[in-house]
Structure formats: C-alpha cells, structure tokens
Structure 1
Amino acid sequence: MKHLSEKSVFRVVVVALVLATFYRLYPLVSGDRVLSAAFMTEDGYLMLTVARNMAIGLGMSVSDGTIPSNGVQPIATFLFAVPYWLTDGDKISGLWGVQLIGAAISVIGVFTVRAFAREALMPQDKSHIWPWLVAALWYSGQHVLLHTMNGLETGLYAVSVTTTLVIFTRLLAKGEDAKFSDRMLLGTAGGITFLVRVDAIFLLLVIAIVWILHEIFVARKRGGRIAQEAAAPMLLAALIAAPWLINNYVNFGSIIPVSGTAQALSGGFAKNADLVPAVIFEYFFPMLPIPHALQFNPIFQTLASAIVVLIGGTFFIQVWRRGRAVRYAILAYLIFAFVMVAYYGFYFGAGWFLSRYLSPLAPLFIVATLSVALSLLTRVNPVHGKAIVRGLGVASLVLCFGLLGRLLIPGVKEQGHFQVVDWVTENVPKDVWAGAIQTGTLGYWHDRTINLDGKVNPDALDAILTEGNVLNYVLNSQIEYLADWHGIAAWTTTNNRGNDAFSNGFEVLVQDPVRNLDVLKRKN
C-alpha cells in the first residue's frame, strides 16, 4: 500500500463508480420480478402509488384514487410521476423510469458529495484524490446504495443537503464580496431541500443560527444589516416550502404529513437509542456493516459510540483549528447530525427505518473518518502515511463490492412482501377490495387496497388515534380480504380487544408462518 500512487487510486475510484452504476442498473435487464423487488422498498411503493395516481389523473391519492393522501415527500413524488405520465400509468415501464431517475440522482450525488468533501478536506490536503475517494465510498457503500435506489427521496435528500452546505460554505467564504444573488441561492437551496424531505427544517434552522452568529461574532456586522441580508433568503425558503405546508394544513388538518404522524406512534423515549451506535458506525465505515446480532451487544454499543465520538470530535477540532469558512458549514452539519440522532433515536418511532432516516449524515461521517485517518497516519508515518490511507481506501472499496456481491446471492436479501402480492393476485379479483397494515407493495400491484397503518390513509390514522385500532374501520369499509405478514390473523382472537363484531365478521383463510403470510376473509 505504501507505493500506491494517486493516479492508480483514481483509476480504482473510476472503476468503482462505474461498477456501482452498473449495480444500480442491473434490475433493468434482469426481468420484471427482479425489477420489482431488487431495490424497491415497502415505503417506496407507497410513494410510487401516489406518483402513478397523479400521473393518471387521480391526484395525490391511494386506493384506486379514492383516498387523498399527503403521506409522501413532494419533490420526489412529482419526479417519479413523470415516467408514469409518459407511459400512461404502466406499472412495469414506470418502474424502469423510477430506477433510471434514482440512478441519475445517485450520479449527481457523486459530484455534490465530492464538492462537499473537497471544501472540507482542502484546508488539510489539496490532493484531489481524497474528495473522489469519499464520493466513491459513499456511492458504493451497501446501505447508501440501497437507500438511494429505494423508490423514495433518500438519494435526492443527500444531494440537496450536500448542495445546500456547499452553497453555505461558499457564501461565507466570499465575505463582504457576497452578493444578493448568493444569499438568494442559499434560500432557494434551503427551500428545495425542505420539499425534498420535511425534516430538513432542522438543517435550515441550524444554518440560520450558525449564519447569524457568524455575522455577529466573526463578520462583526450590526443587527440591522444582518436582518437585512438574512431576511430575504429565509423568506424565500419559507415561500418555497409554503405551498406544501398550506396543502397539508388545509386538506389534512396538520402541516405534518400523515406518514410522519403514523410512524411517530410507534415511538417512545429512547426507543431507538440502542440502534443508534450501529447505524452511525456504519456511516463512518461504510465498508463494515454490523451484523444484526452485534447491534444490541452492550460491549459493541459502547465501543462503537466511543469510536464515532472520538473520530467526530477529533475531526471537528482539527477543522476548527484550520480556520476557513468551511468550518462553519461543518459545525452546522454536525449540529444537524446531533439533532437528527436525538430526534430519530430518542423521540421518533419506526426504528426499522433509522438507517434511512440518518443516511443524509453519511457524507459528513465518511469525510470525518478519512480526515482523521489522514492526520493520524501522516503523523505516525510522515513518509508513507498518505499512501497507506490511499491503500486503505482501495481496500475499503473492495470490501464494499464484496458486500454488494453477497446481496446478489439468492435468499440473502428478500423484499419481504411479494408473498402477499402473489396471493392477492392469484385469489382476489381486481375489482374486490383488500386491506393490510403494510400496503406499499400490495397497494401498488393491487389498486383496490386500503392502508390500515395510517401512513397514507388519514381515515385509518384517525381510527388509530381515537379508538386505538382499526377493527371498526375495517368492519365499516369495503374490505373483503385482509392480507399481510403472519400475525394479522390474531385480530380475530387475542388482539381484537373484545371486538366480537370483528371476530364474527372475518374468518382466517390462510395462516402460514413459513411464508410469513396471513389472510382473513369477510364472512358472507
């Protein structure tokens, strides 16, 4: 590794970028079943159902256009509606377009992550190989790759966050030379980032606070001038975000989408805290995914927490000492990371999505790891330290592709919902209504499907909030079949909370733990 030149490492980076791109595109040439299941997630299908309904004239809705929904993130939904509009709502051709859009956004992410890494690492070392290495690790890491192709906004969010922070860095770097257009560009980027994913409000608030404090204590500007310069971009960001917020409040009674309210119901103080160390560790080291059994090991949790705090703290101290405007952007990014971890780890529910929720932090954490490794190894070995880091970077990329290759082995990674889709497709006519707690995949392939966990169904969410369950909602609906993972059959027995009407109204048709499938049918 000592003799690995920058040119040879750059060649490896290019090869990694090409291979990771092909990996993202392989479902397009692997048949409809692989296309349908390779990357697409349950929640991704929820968004695509809304996108397809928009494209065919049913508006933002689910359940064959009968239930209006705002349980999505707006910009990605509009983007994904395009291929359905171009193909008259064809579900397979639409998936082709969605995967191509996801791959294209990921490619853009390579350049926005590289741009952020360049700003962050340039004061330390001006070599161009380090930003490219960060971008390649981000692009090839197992979790990031899957998240950027999941049919959701996750990839676009990484692009938007890194772009906004780069714009913020360059605005501060211009100092007194910053123009009105520079500030408005930041406001535009901030507003768009919010529409990509609404929890970007945390990032925007942090940037606003850091910016104002910078202007007061570093630029030594007076309050009136600060207000004059900051008001316009902040107002612009708010105006860009306003239509979505107004739509949510007017049509659904809350500025928070129903999906956010529904997923928060599974929360509780520190409910996801035990998952945080493993998830964050995997973003500091994208080539080292943590086995599920190890995630909850107290020794590992303690060690992982200590490692990420040590790397993060060392990185920030080094960045701050080097000066330059980028340190304020990194400060904002680190505070944003802290807020996101606190919110999703200690308040919000849906811990099974924690890795996706925290994925916009990956660029910062990969940069931090590389920066600290570079500082440490060049201090220990001034002659060959950089070559060792380059070698470790190459080895990390090799590990990333080993992990990606493993996912292609049959049975290693399953989508998890197509057994439900298959049963409904084979046994339920298209004009008959089905229901399920998890209706992303099923609702995409069987139009007449009613969602019961409230993520895209405001009426089901209201039933959960008022009654604690959806049993009466199901009884009073058009649902003839309930089909979901094994366990839903218990609704007719121990989990019916004394609702004899439900037990008398539905019977268990299929109870198959091996296939992870239960089906209930309404009694005639």
Structure 2
Amino acid sequence: MDNNVKSENRVRPALLLSIFLILALGIRLYISWQDFVILFQKCVVDDAFFYLNIAKNISIGKGATFDGSILTNGFHPVYALLLVPLFLLFPDNPDLTFHLALTLCSVFNVMTGIIIFLIVKELAGEIAGLIASFLWLFNPYVILISLNGVEVSVATFFLSLCIYQFVRMRETNAFNTRGLTLLGILTALAILGRVDSVFMMISLTLFLFHAAYKEKKKLIPSLARPALFNLAAFSVLAPWFAWNLYHFGSIRQISGVTLPNVAHNMYLMKYETYLSLSLLKTELLNLKIWLESIVRFGGGFPFFVGVLLIFIWTSRDNFTQKMEELLSLLRKLNFTVLSSLLLISFYAFYFWGWFRPWYYLSVILTVTVNLGVFAGYVRKTISAPNPDPFMKPRHLIILLLILAVYFSYRGGRVWEKGLFPFQKQLYESAVWVNENTEKDTRIGAISSGVYGYITSRTTDLLGVVNHEAYRAMREKRIFSYMKEKRLDYLVDREDMVRFFSERFDGEGFMDKLTPVKRFGDKTSDVVVYKISY
C-alpha cells in the first residue's frame, strides 16, 4: 500500500468519524422512538412482531413460540436472544420493549459504520474510509431498512466483521490458526444473525482455498485453511443445528421454506406450469427488480457516476494503467462481490423474495465498501501530482455537504411515502379485531405478526413461524387445519385469502367465510371474516 495513503493525518478523520457516529445514532434514535403507528408504515415490518412475540414467550418460559404453544425455528437466534433480556426487564411494557428493540437495531447499524471505516481505511486510506462510512451512516435506505425491527442490523454487523478480518488476513498474508478460527466464529455469528450469510461462508471458503493453492500448488495441503475455517464455523453453528434437528428433523428454518413455496404457488396459479417461457420471463423480471433495487437502495449511484467521470477524465493519458491499478485494488474485495452475486442469484432465481427490502442490506454493505475503495483510489490519482497528496479539508467538507443534501432530499421523499404504507390497514384491523371480537375466540391470519402482538389469540397461517400450517398448505388442507385449531375469525387481504383458498385447500373455503368488517373496497384491502364450519 502507498505509504503516503497510510500516513494521513489521524486526528481529523477520528474527529469527523466521531461526529458522523453521533449524528447517525441521533437520527436513528429519533426515528426509533416515534409513534408505533407511524413506524409501522415507515420502516417497521410485520415480521418484527414475530421476533418480539418469540422473545417474550422465551422470557416467560413458553419457549420459542409465536402463539405460546407451537414451537418454531422461523427466526434467527442471535437477534431473538438479544431481545429476551428486554422482556425480562420490562415484562409488562410492550411499547417500551418495541422501542428498545429498534434502539438495539440502531446501535448495531451504527457500529457497522465503524467497521466499514476500518475496512476501507485498510485498503485505501482514512479519507476513503470516512467517505464510505458516511455513505452507510446517512443513506436513508440503510437507516430505514435497519430500523425494520428484524435481524438484519445484527447480521450485517457481523458480516462487516467477517469482511474486515479477511481483508486484514489477506493484506498481511496471516492465514494462521488464530486468524482462521476467529474468521470462522465471526462467520458463524453472521449466519446465526441471518442465514443467507452462508453465501459469505461459501465465498470465504473458495477464496481461502484459492489463496492456499496459489501458494502450495498442491490440492490436499491447500484444503487445510478452508477446513480449519469451516471447523470453527460449524463448531459455533452446531448447537443451533442440533436443536433444529431434534425438534424439526431439519436444519432449515421454516420461514425459508414456506416463503418460496408461496411465491411459486402464486406463479403456478397464474401460469399453471414451469415448462413455459413465462418462467424465464419471471426469473428475468426478478433479477431486473433486484438490480434496480440495489441501485436505488445503495444510495450512492450519483456519487459513483461522479467519481467515475472524474476518474475517466484524470486518467485519460494513461487510462489502461490506472484501470489495472484500480481493478487490482478492488480485487481485494472480490470475495464480497462473489458472496453478493450468490445471494442475488438465490433470491432472484429461486426464493423470489424481491419485495422485502431487508434482503438487500448485505448487498448494500458490499456496494458501500467497494465504492469507498473506488473513491479512495480516485482521490489518490487526483492528488498524486500535488506535493501535498491529501484531500484538503474544504474539499472533503464540500463533498460531504453535497452528499448530505442529496441524502436529505432522498430521505425526505422516502420517509413521506414510507417503506410499508400498506401496513396501516394491518394495524387498524389488528386493533379492530382485538377490540371487537370475543376474548375467548381464536384469530387466524396470513400476515400474522402485528395481529399476534396486539392479541395473543392469533395463529400464523402462512407458516413463517408455524410448521403445522406449512404442512397443511403443502397437503392442501389449510381449512381443515383452521378447523383443527378452532379458529373463529380469519383476517387478511382479500386477495391473499382467495389465493390461500385456491392454492392451499383442495375444495376451497371462500363459501365458509362471512365478511364482518372491510377496510376498503379493493381486493388488496384487509377484510375480517367470520368462519363457519
């Protein structure tokens, strides 16, 4: 690495980073303590209440259950266990625990900004690290996605630690037992934070093998490093896997099974078969949405275009050489790109989970660190002819002010609309059901998170936290399951209820439902139904 880049003044970057962190945490805390109803439309997703209910039930001795009776593995354990102490401390204050959960998400998301600074600083200097951390800390999509109340803030924090550890090992060529063990532990924590972090584990395994093979030129000895890394990771993962195997006969989480099942059934209801060009069209559409969303959520596209144009202009006399230098630097992060490509391929081509913004946050992490390194290299090429190679403070301040204005504009527009405006009806209907149905009646719901949080009488019918419901869906007997659970009411969007009747019940059950309350006239609006058996 260029010694000039490493010798940048450390006082000012440390001060600026501290200011960034304080401001970023302040913004997140301000949002975290807004009114429940506002947050449920702006950033908090219905799935957050799966975690809150599960953590609450663990704290009172009912185990990992959403409804207090049906054991589930439809959650990621690190975040769920972090929430349990909140319910132990404040068992009778659900509003406080809700806001404290978002506070926890805020802290982890801001700490990720610190690790991003360290990653990019290691490769491109402190100024580049500051720019990258700013892109993360003040990107409005990162802020709102991280405050959705689910596990993603915790998972991306551990992912960032994985990236930092591997970058340091690569830079120093220190692939020793201690470093590989630490990398394995961090990767396991990332997977326990969110299971799709397994793509980082796959990527790291491949790159560890590749690095060893380049050095040793022999197959068997080259397997030692990835084997040690995987041994450390699986040692940490083993208790979670064992618990799942004992209770459910599989290490797969039910949420990761039922959601693609629903997505594929939606496709089959429309096209009837996979053996058609419609499948290719659907796959390409999912990929298109993913790529567009990455650009939108990444937040730094105008910044990237600006830096790219500056790079092209300043490198016009020796563009090929500069491009080779840039690519050589970015190759140090190629494992993050591979991990993100694997994740994108999984969601776009199989899971079809493009409509959940939190699925994108690990990819935004990859984009941010690569963009920071890119910006650092361009800054270096601009200042190379100058006796003083450092970006002058006023130039950095101007750049950050421009980014701040852009993020403020984007943030205002995103906040005005909210990430989940349609969830307003879920909340309104949950309150109505709680206040207008008999206290000894049972409620069934497809999007059941907020219903279960507001009234403990709720059964999840989507199968996200309910293996029984998933089996009933697969066997096309969901109405029989509703009867078995003695459900009195069914509440959800009308189109989803009809979809369940057509795809997950052999005879259909719409004729067994009587609407008792509508929250709109469109088929996408929520309806409360009385069930007749």
Query: Which category describes the TM-score, using the shorter chain as reference length?
Result: 0.7 to 0.9
Matched AA of 1:117: V
Counterpart Cα distance in 1 of 2:218 and 2:35: 63
Q: Aligned letter for 2:87?
A: Y
Instruction: Provide the residue aligned with 1:292 in structure 2.
Output: none
2:470 maps to 1:461: yes
Describe the SS at the equivalent of 2:239. helix
Looking at structure 1, the residues matched to 200 and 59 of structure 2 have their Cα atoms a distance apart, in angstroms, of 31
Give the counterpart letter for 2:227 in structure 1.
A
SS, match of residue 508 in structure 1: strand
- In structure 1, what is the equivalent of residue 199 of structure 2? 202
* Partner SS, residue 195 of structure 2: coil
Q: CA deviation at 1:430?
A: 3.8
AA at the equivalent of 1:339 = L
| 1:96 positional shift | 2.7
Deviation at 1:364, TM superposition (A): 2.4
| Residue number among 160, 184, 190 corresponding to 2:158 in the alignment | 160
2:216 alignment partner, SS class: coil
1:16/1:397 contact within 8 Å kept: no
2:251 partner letter: I
What corresponds to 1:150 in structure 2? Answer: 148
User: How far apart, CA to CA, are the structure 2 residues paired with 1:511 and 1:365?
Assistant: 43
Determine the structure 1 residue equivalent to 2:274: none
2:259 to 247, 257, 263: 263
Which residue of the other structure, out of 403, 408, 413, is the alignment partner of 2:410?
A: 403
Structure 2 match to 1:445: 454
Corresponding position of 2:276: none
CA distance in 1, matches of 2:417, 2:516: 30
In structure 2, the residue corresponding to 1:520 is in which secondary structure? strand
Q: State yes or no: 1:332 paired with 2:335.
A: yes
Please state whether the residue corresponding to 1:454 is helix, strand or coil: coil
Query: In 2 relative to 1, CA 412–327 (structure 1 residues): closer, same or farther, beyond 3 Å?
Result: closer
Does the CA contact (< 8 Å) of 1:142 and 1:404 recur in 2?
yes
Question: 2:317 aligns to what?
Answer: none
Matches within 5 A, 1:28-427: 29-31=33-35, 33-34=37-38, 39-63=43-67, 65-88=68-91, 90-121=93-124, 126=125, 128-175=126-173, 178-217=175-214, 219-220=215-216, 223=219, 225-265=221-261, 266-267=263-264, 270=283, 272-286=286-300, 318-322=325-329, 327-328=331-332, 330-353=333-356, 355-373=357-375, 391-409=398-416, 414=421, 415-416=423-424, 417-427=426-436
Which residue identity lines up with residue 112 of structure 2 in the other structure? G
Query: Which deviates more from structure 2 when the two are superposed, residues 430-439 or residues 409-418?
Result: 409-418
In 2, the alpha carbon distance for the partners of 1:201 and 1:496 equals 31
Q: Deviations over 1:13-52 (max 9, x none)?
A: 6555433322221255544544666532111111221111
Amino acid at match of 1:98: A
What SS does the aligned partner of 2:517 have? strand
Query: Which letter maps to 2:299?
Result: F
How many Å apart are 1:154 and its aligned residue? 0.8
Alpha-carbon offset, residue 373 of structure 1 = 4.9
Q: Is the 8 A contact 1:27 1:34 kept in 2?
A: no
Structure 2: 5+ residue stretches without partners: 1-8, 265-278, 313-320
Report the equivalent of 2:440: 431
Q: Which stretch has the larger CA shift, 362-371 or 222-231?
A: 222-231
- Per-residue CA deviations over 1:425-463 (Å, capped at 9, x if unaligned) read 221244321011100111111111011111111111111
Amino acid at match of 1:394: L
Q: Distance in 2 between matches of 1:397 and 1:315?
A: 29
Q: Relative to structure 1, is the Cα distance of residues 25 and 385 closer, same or farther in structure 2, using a 3 angstrom cutoff?
A: same
Q: TM-score, normalised by structure 1?
A: 0.82
| C-alpha distance in 1 between matches for 2:504 and 2:64 | 32
How far apart are 1:97 and its partner, in Å?
Answer: 2.1
Structure 1 distance, partners of 2:190, 2:258, is: 23
Q: Given the alignment of the two structures, is residue 499 of structure 1 paired with residue 469 of structure 2, yes or no?
A: no
TM-score (norm 2): 0.80
Q: Aligned to 2:295, what secondary structure does the other structure show?
A: helix
| Shift in alpha-carbon separation, 1:7–1:188, aligned structure 2, 3 A | closer
Distance 1:358 1:450, change over 3 A: same
Equivalent pair of 2:127/2:376 in contact (CA under 8 Å): no
The structure-2 alpha-carbon separation of the partners of 1:338 and 1:413, relative to structure 1 and needing over 3 Å to count, comes to closer
Q: Distance in 2 between matches of 1:332 and 1:194?
A: 16
**Deviations for 1:306-365, whole angstroms, at most 9, x for unmatched residues?**
99xx9xxx999545534xxx844x111111111111111122123211x32121121321
Q: CA 1:41 to 1:215, structure 2 compared with 1: closer, same or farther past 3 Å?
A: same
> Unaligned 5+ residue runs, structure 1?
290-302
Q: CA, structure 1 residues 100+56, in 2 after alignment: closer, same or farther (shift >3 Å)?
A: same
% identity of equivalent residues: 21
2: CA distance, partners of 1:200 / 1:411: 27
Whether the 8 Å contact between 2:441 and 2:488 is mirrored in structure 1 is yes
In the superposition, relative to structure 1, how do residues 168 and 378 fare at CA in structure 2: closer, same or farther (>3 Å)? closer
Residue of structure 1 equivalent to 2:315: none
**Retained in 1: the 8 A contact 2:429–2:526?**
yes
Residue aligned with 1:41, SS = coil
User: Could you say which residue in structure 1 is the equivalent of 2:25?
Assistant: 21
- How much has 1:147 moved relative to structure 2? 1.8
Q: Is the 8 A contact 1:112 1:162 kept in 2?
A: yes
Q: Does structure 2 conserve the Cα–Cα contact (< 8 Å) formed by 1:420 and 1:485?
A: no
Distance 2:436 2:219 in 1: 68
